[in-house]
Structure 1
Amino acid sequence: MNLGDFTARLNVLKNNVSVYAPLGPAKAIQKEAKSAIGTYKYGWPRLSARTVVRKRTGDKPLLETGKLQASFKVKSGPHTATVYSDDPKAGYFERGTSKMPPRPILGPAIHHARAEAQKALLADVQSMFRRSLR
């Protein structure tokens, strides 16, 4: 490989990293958010005794049908990736209501997934670099 080819491959790598690299960390955050549903790992307020009795799933916060857990998606675009929930109730869970305390999901998921997101980013960049040298 001559210097011109190497430079061209580095330019392709630079573009790929800036466009695609955010996807790995976003998927790590998505996985973390899904794993929190039904647990108290983020220090959420305990469910009331009445709520526990009423729920099919018992003392598992935000887990009833699995719909919220399945609602976390990743959308990628040029230079960005977004983790979001398409469940209309997710905002109420995040911020709480007059009858329900807030149980934030995405903010804590970002914090808890930090190390995994960094590993994913590094793995993605290394993989792109290896492919660009072929």
Structure 2
Amino acid sequence: MKELNGFLGAALQFAALDVALHKSMKNGLEEAARRIAETAKDEVGHYQASVGPFNKWDDLADSTEADKARKGFPADAPLERTGGFRDSWQFEVDGLEAVVGSKDEKAPWFEFGTTRMPPRPVLGPAVIHNGNFIRRIIGKAAVEGITKGHAIHPSLGYDDLI
């Protein structure tokens, strides 16, 4: 453990720890958000089994399959006609907050269903499928941030940290 030289040394060390931890956690959060968005993209176009509180996807209605065939879209590919919904999944990280989602206006209908269409959740299952990865990457980021925060050289001032 690093020895703290007086109050200024302690303050610099704590500032370094805060900066390193914040940077490492942001990187971990970005990696987790990217993985969730990629998993969501991968789920589109394939029937999904039940996971956690989410039921397996129902088969597409015969009328839906007929309409897709008539328009030249792939058969047995739920939520995939043009690929636009699949490609709409993205993420943003701002500080220690991440948002993963789709900008497709139909995404809530797909996720939660409607009176005429059963739910075909994408985001919830993507998070569950990546639960272990998320815990591992965030834990690793926390440890790396704490350990890197102790690696400050005593000659550095606060301005050098930010």
Which TM-score applies when normalising by structure 1?
A: 0.81
| Partner SS, residue 82 of structure 1 | strand
Across the two proteins, how many residue pairs are aligned to each other? 134
Structure of larger gyration radius: 2
Deviations 1:28-79 (A, max 9, x none): 1111111110111241011122322322110110011111111111011121
Partner of 1:69: 86
Change (3 A) 1:18 1:128: closer
Gaps of 5+ in 1: none
Q: Specify every segment of 5 or more residues in structure 2 that has no aligned partner in the other structure, as ranges.
A: 50-55, 153-162
Deviation at 1:125, TM superposition (A): 5.0
Amino acid paired to 2:21: K
TM-score (structure 2 length as normaliser): 0.68
Q: Counterpart of 1:48 in structure 2: which amino acid?
A: A
The residue number in structure 1 matching 2:156 is none
Aligned-pair identity (%): 31
> CA separation in 2, counterparts of 1:15 and 1:123?
13
Partner of 1:95: 112
Match of 2:21 among 14, 30, 33: 14
Give the letter aligned to residue 60 of structure 2. L
